[in-house]
A and B are shown apart, each in its own frame.
Chain A
């Protein structure tokens, strides 16, 4: 019992529990077929693998978004950056270009987009929501201009491999996620960067006086977030075998922010946990998959997700907790304010 109490102190504990619960409910509802695993042509097939594969984009976005939110910022341009990266890669591949070159250029485009956001936020000091909204709206336009307003389709097995490939019987996107997360975790845990990041989020001014280069930290995390969005965009476009600038990554920014919120990272900045956000992403993906499987209209999930975000934020809010605890009425709250 004591050990369980200790475990539950970890930020990642509750997201894992919720994820397992959702899987369990799915398993019971489907009468066990949910957990079936089949091996066809040496590839592992199962609903859980599907969730992991489809959730890989969101896991990448959540990794970048966690760090941005940890600084107390936000990045709502990730969906558009996904569209740009897909548009760049598909235009190059469709034009007969090398797939490796296409991938590199697409990731570079994401880095440039992220660095632009970082510049606006850290140097010019625009509110993160406005700074990234510029790219959210204009980015989709830029993607349209790259593809000339058309849907570009690609015909390349090497490119399809990014989403549909298998290594050792497991889908390739999982290896991308594992690789990225491993690198990031090493960087955060083995260097002082993670500490600086948390400190920036808790109090940027005192961090600055403590000798931390707050601007550079912010710039780095926005750039990284752009890069993650580009990789997610590659996976998405490889999945649909083309670039659809209107719909690629549309409305995904909410999912990414929600994944981080479910993971328990405060949206006000400060303490963060990337593993917890990854499970947050898996929770969202499993809910989305279950909703489809149960035949509920997928539009409702958008409504439900937005409500969940607000509820999570309310429970993170000190003022809300206090008002519940003391059952303060409005008038007293006004006086306090």
Chain B
């Protein structure tokens, strides 16, 4: 009986990843048929180039979602990282000081939010919403105008690329790939990773099993903010500027990526490969919108629609699972 149930759950997990991959192939295929010159490695690589930072941020938020929490502060953290880095670089602070510093700020900020959420039982949405406004406000305090980055190291990072199969891959994409590999390793093969799933599955059981729930919950928020800060660093390589109003609404993109990739918002189910494919699906949608010459807001509206569809599918699967359980 138990084995059967486990099998059922396992198949649901695989189905959602399968749906995601199929959706990506269908979208990419449809676009390749509809537009000349779309089907190429260059288009595929550009998806990675343009969305590298989003992959990092989405992987970070996946950790939080896996525990059943939420973090809507990441977009502001990315913006803050860019603005603060640009500000420091303009003052002449060398990059090898700036980058560790902003990453550390992200880590500490996330840990602080996680601390308040876990130890003082504050609701995650209210803490991270306050965090969102705090970071956005700090951006504006530093500068309301866009600060260009002229540092040599940043410029080198922005332009270094390898040419491969007729397409270009920029160096910063490899940061995203590294994050993906590390996240995959941590979630699958470490005690910490299994605890993340356990907390999301049932927090009380996890406590009773003697798992370090407190440390895990604080850590996932720290990871999420750290990834957001890292995404901010990559984003500043990508745009070579810091603007206080950039990436408004990116938290929706990140959460959609995770959900489209098969992460349950109730926690306990999901993986980072799905999340990465989720980001690529959004990238394809964005490319199609550009090819169609539509208003860029169509991207956001389509992604929001897609998110709704996937959440509803998840609900239906969950309701079916409940019924199966009730039926014994």
Contact = CB atoms under 8 A, between A and B. Distances in A.
Asked if A pairs with B, the answer is: yes
Interface stretch (A10-18, A30-38, A118-126, A200-208): A118-126
A213 B138 CA distance: 43
Interface string A220-256: 0000000000000000000000000000000101100
A267 interface: yes
Given A141-B300, A314-B120, A124 B255 contact: no
Interface stretch (A45-53, A156-164, A270-278, A302-310): A302-310
B310 to A, nearest CB: 11
A142 B126 contact: no
A303 B137 CA distance: 5
Nearest to B142: A299
B308 interface: yes
A337 B118 contact: yes
Q: How large is the interface on A (under 10, 10 to 19, 20 to 34, 35 or more residues)?
A: 35 or more
A126 B62 CA distance: 17
A335 B126 CA distance: 25
Nearest to B138: A303
A317 interface: yes
B120 A320 contact: yes
Contact of B297 (A149, A305, A318, A333): A149
A137 interface: yes
Contact of B122 (A134, A149, A254, A313): A313
Interface residues of B, number: 45
A186 B109 CA distance: 44
B252 A137 contact: yes
B264 to A, nearest CB: 11
Contacts of B137: 299-306
Interface in B109-133: 116, 118-123, 125-127, 129-133
A126 B265 contact: yes
A302 B136 contact: yes
A145 B255 contact: no
Main secondary structure of the interface of A (DSSP, over half): helix
Given A137-B252, A138-B304, A140-B249, A310 B125 contact: no
A1 interface: no
A330 interface: yes
A133 B265 contact: no
A319 B120 contact: yes
Contacts of B129: 76, 129, 253-254, 257, 309
Contacts of A268: 123
A106 to B, nearest CB: 19
A168 interface: no
A310 B252 contact: no
Main secondary structure of the interface of B (DSSP, over half): helix
Nearest to B307: A134
Contacts of B157: none
Contacts of A319: 119-121
A183 interface: no
B213 interface: yes
Contacts of B21: none
A8 interface: no
Contacts of B326: none
Given A126-B311, A133-B255, A134-B304, A251 B298 contact: no
B122 A140 contact: no
Contact of B134 (A137, A253, A307): A307
B300 A317 contact: no
B77 to A, nearest CB: 13
B268 to A, nearest CB: 14
A137 B300 contact: yes
B122 A314 contact: yes
Interface of A: 74, 76, 120, 124-130, 133-138, 140-142, 144-145, 148-149, 251, 253-254, 257, 267-268, 297, 299-307, 309-310, 313-314, 317-320, 323, 330, 333-334, 337
11 contacts: A130-B70, A137-B304, A141-B297, A267-B126, A303-B137, A306-B137, A307-B130, A317-B121, A318-B121, A319-B119, A320-B120
Q: Kindly list the 8 A-B residue pairs having the minimum CB-CB distance in the complex, ordered from nearest.
A: A302-B137, A299-B140, A138-B304, A141-B297, A303-B137, A129-B125, A306-B133, A306-B134
Interface of B: 70, 72, 116, 118-123, 125-127, 129-134, 136-138, 140-141, 144, 207, 213-214, 249, 251-252, 255, 265, 295, 297-298, 300-301, 303-305, 307-308, 311-312, 315
Given A129-B72, A253-B129, 15 more contacts: A124-B312, A134-B304, A135-B304, A136-B249, A141-B300, A142-B301, A144-B297, A251-B133, A251-B136, A257-B129, A301-B137, A302-B136, A303-B141, A310-B122, A319-B120
